[in-house]
Amino acid sequence: MKATPSAPTRYVTSFVDLDGPPRVLDLVDGRNATDVGVWLDARGPDWRAQIEVCALDPHRGYYNDVTARLDLAIRSANARLSSWSRACPDARLSG
- C-alpha distances in Å from residue 3, one per residue of 17, 19, 46: 26, 31, 37
Please write the tens of the pLDDT for every residue from 55-90: 777 677 777 777 788 876 666 555 544 544 555 555
The residue ranges of every structural domain in the chain are: 12-87
Please write the tens of the pLDDT for every residue from 10-67: 788 888 887 878 888 898 888 788 888 899 899 998 988 888 777 777 677 777 777 7
Residue 13's DSSP bridge partners are: 28
Cα atoms in the 13 Å half-sphere on the side-chain side of 57: 16
pTM here is: 0.65
Q: What is the DSSP string of 9-68?
A: ---EEEEEE-SSS-EEEEEEE--SHHHHHHHHHHH-HHHHHT--EEEE-S-HHHHHHHHH
